[in-house]
Structure 1
């Protein structure tokens, strides 16, 4: 059961425990993480932990929820109603990559949730994809994108962002750049601008209503 702090100091302490848990779960994995390690990292006593959380599993699940809330905020932070869907995609991906560069633990923790708390994993992706699907539906109806299946497109776009982020943000953070096919040879912890631009060109071609409408004509010309 979630325990809400009644004071500003309590709110700060609870967040300090979540921040410490992010570091500990990322560093040690769920099995080797412990409440002792979390409280030591947060600089509080073990008794304080139980004022806010009942167990290691509970803080893990609430950490997944906390990271989900913050990454969704980062993705939407710079988007405005006046933007086109493609402009919103660009801003959303920039926000996602900025957040994951600052919180690379997101990848590791979400992957562990598949085994530790499948409910949390499902909640994490559902909360992201629900808004994505609705936004793509509106864009399709407004003619901003082609005649796409919003659900398929949403999951495909999430996959693009996740894998690009893992390749250039998470993996090989301390390695020298090398073979493009080697996932541990990025030599960076940010998505390079040329990578981001090529990714967006790929997405724009996939979603662009003009390219979708041109496809039947091109096919007809090829047959004639």
Structure 2
């Protein structure tokens, strides 16, 4: 019984240490950017023992990918909202809402998203993580397209996966431009135009 109790305490301590390192990592990345951030800085800010960060994460790239996953979970939740429209109008309303929420969440995490953009360009580990994130979103979009095709709402002469990729890449590109401040249009305008373009081409 004592052994199980001690194991439980160790597990709890490990979870707390991991959380401290992730929180410290977020702060260090935001202050220094991805390339200039170091595991030493993260360890120091977390007030953990020398080298402790390496017990939990192989390198800063691995720690950063876990931070990305935490942020992306909110977007996964949006992407996972029920999608069973009965009409083209219902589909438009739901798709526009999802698109707007996707963009709004990106802007809420704008500073971290900027670091993600930087990291994708310099870290193969982060780039691979982003590819996995893309694949997850595209898979979900593909299923939604297949649903409306079977329901007779959308054209069935389009390849669902190819359209899903195109839709995600358009959203991703405009998301980055919003995050980086490269376009002046607001989220509502971006969401409306994207959705009109998408549904206008795909739906009957």
Query: What is the TM-score when the length of structure 2 is the normalising length?
Result: 0.73
* Aligned with residue 142 of structure 1, among 151, 155, 158: 151
Q: Which runs of 5+ in 2 are unaligned?
A: 1-9
Structure 2 residue 32 is the aligned partner of structure 1 residue 31:
no
Gaps of 5+ in 1: 173-182, 210-224
Q: Distance in 1 between matches of 2:23 and 2:145?
A: 33
Deviations 1:78-100 (A, max 9, x none): x3354454344223212211221
Aligned match for 1:206, one of 178, 201, 204: 201
TM-score normalised by L of structure 1: 0.67
Matches within 5 A, 1:153-192: 153-168=163-178, 170-172=179-181, 183=182, 186=184, 191-192=186-187
C-alpha separation in 2, matches of 1:160 and 1:145:
19
Q: Do the aligned partners of residues 150 and 15 (structure 1) sit closer, same or farther apart at CA in structure 2, a change above 3 Å counting?
A: farther
Does structure 2 retain, via aligned residues, the 8 Å contact 1:26–1:109? no
The alpha-carbon distance between structure 1 residues 192 and 113, as it changes in their structure 2 partners (threshold 3 A), is closer
Is contact 1:113–1:121 with CA below 8 Å preserved after alignment? yes
Q: In the alignment, is the contact (CA less than 8 A) between 2:17 and 2:48 conserved in 1?
A: no
Q: Residue 82 of structure 2: which of 58, 80, 83 is its match?
A: 80
Distance 1:19 1:164, change over 3 A: farther
The aligned runs of 1:4-23 (5 Å cut-off) are 6-7=11-12, 10-23=14-27
Hey, what does 1:126 align to over in structure 2?
135
1:107 deviates by 5.1
Aligned residues: 186
RMSD across aligned C-alpha pairs, in angstroms? Answer: 3.0
Which has the bigger relative contact order, CA under 8 A and spacing at least 6? 2
Deviation at 1:74, TM superposition (A): 3.5
Change in CA separation of 1:88 and 1:57 when aligned onto 2, cut-off 3 Å: same
CA distance in 2, matches of 1:15, 1:94: 30
Flag as ranges the 4+ runs of structure 1 deviating above 6 A. Answer: none
Name the SS of the counterpart of 1:145 in structure 2. coil
Contact 2:34 2:118 in 1 (8 A): no
Matched, 1:91 2:97: yes
Report the equivalent of 1:109: 116
